[in-house]
Structure 1
Amino acid sequence: MERNSMMSLLARHGRRTRLRTRPAHLPLVAAILTAVTVTAAPTAGADETNCGGTHFVASWAASPTDALAPVDAAGAPVPLAVADQTFRMIITPHLGGTQLRVRLTNRYGLGPVTFARVSVGNQVAGAAVDALTPVSFDGGASVTVAAGAEILSDPVPFAVAAFRPVAVSIHVAGVAGPPTKHWNANATSYYAGPNSGDLTGQPGPEQFASTTGSWLYVSALDVRAQAATRSVVAFGDSITDGFVGTSAIPVPVDRAVADVNGRYPDALQRRLDAAGIPISVVNAGIGSNRVLTSGEPLMPGASGLARFERDALEQSGVAGVLVQEGINDLGLPPAADAAGMIAGYQQLIAMAHGHGKKIWLGTLLPASDALVDGVALAPRSESDRQQINAWIRGQRIADGVVDFDVALRDPDNPSVLRDDYSGPDRLHPNLAGYRAMADVIDLGMLSTAGSPRC
């Protein structure tokens, strides 16, 4: 790596910044070097040194995937051009509070985008909202975000309740290219037609005639929480993202699972809440994502190694990351082998520890009878999966292990999912399977990751 590039990377970790631009993709060796030489990235509230008071903690997140896929996971069209219109994105926070801030993204935009007005409100039903509250950026209502950049709003007084849907309404002024999105939201959001203008102050649903199963422009919501509260990031692929298919071919997504918040991180959040543990679980899963291989510019997104810092380690109040990813590396061409995957996991561990965060590894689920990622098209995938899982169980460099494989595999045929936990494609769990994934996670293990404020 050139000296100027390394100095730029160090500078980015040495100061807080509200407007973030796309980092250069680093070679794998440099990723390890970065992990062991760069000190922990500042988190919201890091300027306060005691454990009292409050800080901002991620309550919801969705990793940007792309801007070019023309349809969402259910096959509905997604805008590839924007013209003076308003998008009403419905998100479900995991942590409540009385103050929030919103992160908007233009990570995969082809040019600058102007967010002329933004508001938040509580979803009443569909696109109907109440308690509309304007959002500002450095004191102004409008902000222009360059291609590759993201912007964090000012703190907004607004009552957020866990699992009560929040509507983020975004008016894009003028003409813009395809919006950066999270491809498979497993949630229904809304948008108005071109040239319909600013509807961010409109509580009614009348002009929001179009629906989408993607999240456009919005990538995170933070809430102000007590100092001991922290976030844990669930990092992975479509299994973390909560995908449930409809047939042997994974797409389209089963729309029956939309808006039920049935992903394993959702079920894990409910367990933590019931136990009174002040941890917010945020989701950094991306469908078809791989640890080693990038899918940019299409919806699989940047590789896990390339996006780990931004999508996981830079979340507000993050204390640890639970990684369950790798089945696509084994099943999709060019297929990785066990040795390459283990090296990739070691790099993720080094990056997390280099930032002072805990990291836990989840074993890979069986999929030998799946059409995608199974042995019919990837003959080595099952043997490599078993080698990887053996390494995950035996290694001692991560901070813990979650054995998802044992929890969901068929005891009579450990190379496949249990029938009662499998979706139709035999690759993704069904909702019962996702609950089983959450149930096998040791809450005490997660609790060992203390707040970055304390």
Structure 2
Amino acid sequence: MNFPGPTPRRIRASGPSALTVPAAVAVLVSALVGVGIDPAVVHAQSSCDGTHFVASWTAAPTDSVTPLDAWGQPTPLTVDDQTFRMIITPHLAGTQLRVHLTNRFGLTPVTFDRVSIGNQVSGPVVGDIAPVKFDGRTSITVPAGSDVTSDPIAFTVGSFAPLAVSIHVSGAAGPPTKHWNANATSYYSPHGSGDLTAQPASHQFSSTTGAWFYVQALDVSAPASTRAVVAFGDSITDGFVGATALSVPADRAVADTNGRYPDLLQRRLDAANVPISVVNAGIGSNRVLTSGEPLLLGPSGLSRFQRDALDRAGVAAVLVQEGINDLGLPPAPDVAAMIAGYEQLIAAAHRSGKKIWLGTLLPASDALVDGVLLAPRSETDRQQINIWIRTQNRADGVVDFDAALRDPADPAVLQQIYSSPDRLHPSPAGYRAMADTIDLTMLTDTRSPAC
């Protein structure tokens, strides 16, 4: 089973040609065989030399037409000669990077007239501004449904040091592709305010947003032994903390704290000096089987798995924790359909030569959303799915988030300390417990795609 979703065209940036590599490898192998050396031995000894690009930060595109962000603030439905200053926080440090921008859900082509990157000083104030180019040009027009990758940029980024990606859109365009719940504060200027990408500070960045517009990923050049792990899922992976019993709006107090479980897992890896970058491909309200376009739910997990997870730079493995929205939002599938969906994700990862781990589903029987109001019978299905996740042997490992966060006195609900007010999403303490549940040796038992 697969579900239709937009298949973006990627506009590739220029760079050193790789066309001569296969021929060079063939000559080398022939020479090694001729002198009696096993090429496999040489590969094992030298395969992790050099560098490659690794995803340092990602945000899965959700939509373009949802009129409010997760804080309840309006989002632009048209764009015209204005600048977006998006604040992102990379996980992997380095001195050369490239930026991915997206018009995946745009209704019209969009011209990125100027793009820059800089270190956030405070709010919309930035320093060390550097231009971003595409095939050597400062401007590029991206068709609707497409993504674009920049040329490599010499720029030093630090782990958890926030960056500002400033994007000037010249002329008129339709609604910007976005990631609906950024859990971070970004800025943009009004229509007609022009190119502010080279301005360290400007009072014209008069609007704030809790969404990310246009920016999709940041890659960093790293040693070939460095790899990325994608955390793939719904709002729980995305780090949503509900402020009310109905979940929305998101709790603004957690913005800019980088308290999502993938962020906290990254802190653990950094402390252990493990060369892995954990990037986030969570989408609020996302489902494994059913697409939610054109609204913020995004394409189904099955239809977006390749481009949002497997295609990211340097990815060696994916950790999937998704399914509670399938049970809680119509049309609700049966357990067999859910298991078949997980099996498709596992098969896709293995076809790509990547590992995949499954996380158990968290309890939500007392939540209004995905619980008593919308899915009063989902607990039985959740238990059956979790039994299958724990006992199956197709995935490369299991993370038992459910066992870590459920209430010992009532396993059908979250422990109070680990729950947001909505009883569906974890609290900041719950996200920390999720990160602490993951066995780091499971993550380190992966090889870089460059090795």
Counterpart for residue 324 of structure 2: 327
1:398 aligns with 2:395: yes
Aligned counterparts of 2:429 and 2:334: Cα–Cα separation in 1: 30
Match of 1:240 among 237, 240, 250: 237
RMSD between superposed Cα atoms in Å: 1.8
Counterpart for residue 269 of structure 1: 266
Aligned counterparts of 1:287 and 1:337: Cα–Cα separation in 2: 22
8 Å CA contact 2:11–2:149 kept in 1: the answer is no
What pairs with 1:6-405 in structure 2 (closer than 5 Å)? 18=12, 50-405=47-402
8 Å CA contact 2:246–2:422 kept in 1: the answer is yes
Following superposition, the deviation at residue 375 of structure 1 comes to 3.8
**TM-score, with structure 1 as normaliser:** 0.90
**TM-score, with structure 2 as normaliser:** 0.91
> Could you list the runs of 5+ residues in structure 1 that have no partner in the other structure?
2-8, 20-41
Aligned counterparts of 1:453 and 1:108: Cα–Cα separation in 2: 31
Aligned counterparts of 1:284 and 1:376: Cα–Cα separation in 2: 27
- SS of match in other structure, 1:374: helix
Amino acid at match of 2:342: Y
Q: Deviations over 1:346-388 (max 9, x none)?
A: 0000000000000000000000000011144323200000000
Amino acid at match of 1:181: K
Aligned counterparts of 1:221 and 1:410: Cα–Cα separation in 2: 38
Moved over 6 A (4+): 45-49
1:410 aligns with 2:380: no
Amino acid at match of 1:131: D
- SS of match in other structure, 2:220: strand
Amino acid at match of 1:400: G
Q: Deviations over 1:111-132 (max 9, x none)?
A: 1100000000000000000000
Aligned counterparts of 1:52 and 1:206: Cα–Cα separation in 2: 47
Aligned counterparts of 1:234 and 1:409: Cα–Cα separation in 2: 21
Aligned counterparts of 2:444 and 2:339: Cα–Cα separation in 1: 26
Q: Which moved more, 1:171-180 or 1:371-380?
A: 371-380
Amino acid at match of 1:399: D
- SS of match in other structure, 1:198: coil
8 Å CA contact 1:126–1:205 kept in 2: the answer is no
8 Å CA contact 1:232–1:279 kept in 2: the answer is yes
Aligned counterparts of 1:394 and 1:407: Cα–Cα separation in 2: 17
Counterpart for residue 442 of structure 2: 445
Aligned counterparts of 1:59 and 1:270: Cα–Cα separation in 2: 13
8 Å CA contact 2:327–2:375 kept in 1: the answer is yes
- SS of match in other structure, 2:369: coil
Following superposition, the deviation at residue 17 of structure 1 comes to 6.3
Following superposition, the deviation at residue 18 of structure 1 comes to 1.5
Amino acid at match of 1:96: A
Amino acid at match of 1:175: A
- SS of match in other structure, 2:388: helix
Aligned counterparts of 1:215 and 1:168: Cα–Cα separation in 2: 10
Aligned counterparts of 1:191 and 1:108: Cα–Cα separation in 2: 19
Q: Deviations over 1:72-93 (max 9, x none)?
A: 0000111110000000000000
Aligned counterparts of 1:277 and 1:17: Cα–Cα separation in 2: 33
Aligned counterparts of 2:374 and 2:297: Cα–Cα separation in 1: 19
- SS of match in other structure, 1:373: helix
Q: Deviations over 1:427-454 (max 9, x none)?
A: 0000000000000001100111110011
Aligned counterparts of 1:248 and 1:425: Cα–Cα separation in 2: 4
Q: Deviations over 1:296-353 (max 9, x none)?
A: 0100000000000000000000000000000000011111121111000000000000
Q: Deviations over 1:192-242 (max 9, x none)?
A: 111011000000132111100000000000000011000000000000000
Q: How many residues align?
A: 418
Amino acid at match of 1:119: S
Counterpart for residue 32 of structure 2: none
Aligned counterparts of 1:376 and 1:106: Cα–Cα separation in 2: 36
8 Å CA contact 2:241–2:426 kept in 1: the answer is yes
8 Å CA contact 1:187–1:258 kept in 2: the answer is yes
Q: Which has the larger radius of gyration?
A: 2
Amino acid at match of 1:307: R
Counterpart for residue 416 of structure 2: 419
- SS of match in other structure, 2:450: coil
